[in-house]
A and B are shown apart, each in its own frame.
Chain A
Amino acid sequence: MACSNNCTCNKDNSGNQDNSRRDFLVKGLVGGIGAAFLSGCSANDKTKPASGEKINVLTHDGKLVAVDKSQVANFKPHISEEDVRKGIPGKKFVMVIDLAKCDGCGKCTKACNKMHYLPSNKEWIEVLEMQDSPEMAPYYFPKPCYHCDNPPCTKVCPVDATFKREDGIVAIDNERCIGCRFCMAACPYSVRLFNWTEPIKPNITETTPAAENVFQSKKGCVEKCDFCPHMAREGKLPACVTGCPMNAIWFGDANEDAVTCYDGTTTKLSQLLEDGAAYRFMEELGTEPRVYYLPPTNRTYNAKEIKIENADSKK
């Protein structure tokens, strides 16, 4: 996956990167050795003693080989401002949320907040209680940013601080944002949050350009769910997906037609959408969200327990 632009060892791999990429993604996630994605390998280096621990790497001709861990050097690729604005090449990220499985536990929100150093009063992914009409059964409705393909927010930004990347992500550059909040007014899903006061800064150093930072909060600037691009670069899943024990959130690449959930199951996106009769929230607005919902049929939880806070819920 990320080897195509990050690895030091395979500089001429453009022709055969497709062969076992998905296989590799699955293996990487199941095996929990996702770090290999951004590891470069220095196979010629014989000076280090062997650790005995093997690690899978992708060679330039598309083969998976197990090499000793000591042979693999951790390599953080340089990501330029331009890379961040362009997005991860060849990708089209997509999310599927299975409303039948979501029991409203809110662990996705917690995982997300932990990942992005957000205080508990900020929610990039919000779990709402929905009820279409009083006669209908209520259900939980996790709402991340929809990363629309026709995004109303990026259209109105006066300084290109929020923009649509080629990989489908709608990102925010908080070194650019002037805080006019037009994007917040334009977003019909109330997804965007504003830093009304100085946020508490975590003790971390970030080397990537602002739009791919883990910590995005900046006083006087807008923030929102970013689909965890820093994780995607490493071939890892977003925090909400790995945080959802109900396997309700799937994340993947529409180009590969594959999505993965918490327990590592990878499935065909088109099949999942078809079998689950997927829909997108407020399709009639024409914003073309990149997040699909599977309707709350055969719920795995007791719907009657849900208390609706605000009765005038929609859809």
Chain B
Amino acid sequence: MEKLNPEIRNQIEDELLGTVGRRYRQETFWVIFLGLVCVGGTVAWIIQLRKGLGVTAMRDYVSWGLYISLLFFFVGVSLIGALVSCVLRMSGAKWRYPLIRIAEAVTLSAIFFAGFMPVLDMGRPERLYFLITHGRIQSPILWDVVAIATYFIGSVIYFYLPLIPDLAIMRDKITDAPKWRKKLWRWMAVGWEDNLLQRRLLKKAMLILCIVILPVAISVHTISAWLIAFTLRPGWNSTIMGPYFVFGALMAGTAIMILIIAKLRHGYRLENYLTPKHFNNLAKILLALTAFYLYLNINKYGVPAFKMAKEEKAVLEDLFYGKNAFLFWFTQVVGLVIPIVLLSFKKIRQSVKWVVAASVMVLLGALINRYLIVVPNMLHPFVPIQHAQHGYATYNPTLIEWTITASSLAGFVLLIILLFKPFPVITMWEVIEEVEKRGEEEIGVENIVNPQNIPVHVS
């Protein structure tokens, strides 16, 4: 396809820039709501800081609870950026272009909260700097700190690089913006003139980053898995943890990605850019990942269940027909089997609603699964729990814990929304370039070159 008519180009840019700074009623509601939840979480956190971790339900046996479960969840979700920007890139999936910025925003937000959760869980957060002044590089926690920090910086760069040409477009196009904004755009666009050399350099940088960030992304989550796999506890002492976490993470990340683009699609009127084709393709990936994760689960639980070694037995019995049986079978059936069956049908994959429904199930299953990885194992140590004080041999998270957990999840979503506010959701220059090169079909966008079909914004 030859170059786009400048007028149409203009119109595409106008349309995508339309979301920048615009207020949507529903979005404002969500921002206020999530903000309030975060305020509640901050209050809860202050109470926790003042009174100590005693305000949580964690005790000596269950010494890690919701916070660490959530750490694993966030680190996991952050892998979606690497999946979309690296794995899809290397597999030559052209439909990824409209999704890149969304995926990177999810990644940024997730890795930020992944870094935050351990601080919430610390008994002495004021000694955090000891990790630098007295850090022991032999400890997996140090590896985790280094990996999360590296991945965070990498993700910031990966968010920023494809933004440069878009910032230049904003700098040149939005004339009615406040002065400081224009100044900021000018500064952030680092003198982008959209010439061939600049484009070549930018693309090279993105390629290098894409190759570098993939092993970093995998290491981040593998190291989180090692935090528990490096212990001698029944249920945790397993070599499967690394891949188990990584693939569970990719699965949860894909589910979140589907939910977010489903929301953005209607909220920001991006139906022409985020089309059923994207849902169908992401659903296929989700299908593959859930099926593979089920396979990993069969290995993780099935193999020890066949042997029923004494130590593992207590944990497995708890999961299979004990106290946590409902949650366990929920994650397996609702979180994996039903979505696999649903997504196997082409018709369902092509229906945005059904794909969203399947993603919700997968996401719920993934969240509960993180809890099941952490807590039940801690309740079944080698040495039998005896003479336990009240509340020591069980784990029922307190209101403070639930509030902090909920506000972390709220903060995660809020940060994503806030990241979409100052920038266009879709990478404009890349989508335009690719549409010029390959046509709408391959990129997965619809009707954007037809000026008649540009929808009118309703706010």
Contact = CB atoms under 8 A, between A and B. Distances in A.
A185 interface: yes
Interface string B360-392: 000000000000000000100111111101000
B241 to A, nearest CB: 13
A195 B52 CA distance: 8
Contacts of B193: none
A312 B382 contact: no
Contacts of B314: 312
Given A158-B141, A188-B381, A196-B58, A126 B387 contact: yes
Name, among B53, B125, B389, the residue most crowded by chain A CB atoms within 10 Å (CB to CB): B53
A156 B141 contact: yes
Contacts of B135: 158-159
A149 interface: no
Given A220-B52, A221-B124, A313 B231 contact: no
A8 to B, nearest CB: 34
A161 B121 CA distance: 17
A123 B383 CA distance: 14
B136 A314 contact: no
B230 A220 contact: no
Interface in B122-169: 122-125, 127-128, 130-131, 134-136, 138-142, 145
A44 interface: no
A193 interface: yes
Interface stretch (B13-21, B35-43, B60-68): B60-68
A189 B383 contact: yes
A184 B63 contact: yes
Interface residues of A, number: 47
B284 interface: no
Contacts of A203: none
A185 B385 contact: no
B interface secondary structure, majority: loop
Nearest to A184: B63
A192 B136 contact: no
Contacts of B63: 181, 184-185, 194
Nearest to B138: A155
Contacts of A313: 384
Contacts of B385: 190, 310
B53 A179 contact: yes
A156 B140 contact: yes
B332 to A, nearest CB: 24
A309 interface: yes
A43 B385 CA distance: 56
Given A194-B53, A220-B124, A158 B60 contact: no
Contacts of A143: 383
A309 B139 CA distance: 36
B311 interface: yes
Contacts of A193: 60
A282 interface: yes
A143 B142 CA distance: 31
Contacts of A176: 127, 130, 134
A285 B232 contact: yes
Nearest to A197: B54
B59 A196 contact: yes
B222 to A, nearest CB: 16
B310 interface: yes
B378 A197 contact: no
Given A159-B136, A182-B141, A220 B232 contact: no
Contact of A179 (B59, B124, B138, B145): B124
A141 to B, nearest CB: 9
B25 to A, nearest CB: 43
A287 interface: yes
A285 B232 CA distance: 7
Contact of A177 (B54, B124, B125): B124
A158 B127 CA distance: 12
A159 B383 contact: no
A152 interface: yes
Contacts of B61: 190
Contacts of A185: 63-64, 227-228, 231, 233, 236, 378
B230 A156 contact: yes
Given A181-B64, A194-B60, A314 B382 contact: yes
Nearest to A106: B387
B397 interface: no
Nearest to B310: A314
B398 to A, nearest CB: 12
A27 interface: no
A161 B301 CA distance: 35
B371 to A, nearest CB: 15
A177 B123 contact: yes
A196 B53 contact: yes
B51 interface: yes
Contacts of A50: none
A180 interface: yes
Interface in B89-144: 118, 121-125, 127-128, 130-131, 134-136, 138-142
Contacts of A157: 136, 139
Contacts of B378: 185
A186 interface: yes
Name, among B141, B232, B311, the residue most crowded by chain A CB atoms within 10 Å (CB to CB): B232
A143 B384 CA distance: 11
Contacts of B123: 177-181, 194-195, 219-222
Contacts of A177: 123-124, 127
10 contacts: A178-B128, A185-B227, A188-B381, A189-B381, A194-B60, A196-B59, A287-B232, A312-B314, A314-B382, A314-B383
Interface of B: 51-54, 56, 58-61, 63-64, 118, 121-125, 127-128, 130-131, 134-136, 138-142, 145, 227-228, 230-233, 236, 310-311, 314, 378, 381-387, 389
Interface of A: 121, 123, 126, 128-130, 143, 152, 155-161, 176-182, 184-186, 188-190, 192-198, 219-222, 282, 285, 287, 309-310, 312-314
Given A128-B383, A312-B314, 7 more contacts: A156-B140, A157-B139, A161-B134, A177-B123, A190-B381, A222-B123, A314-B311
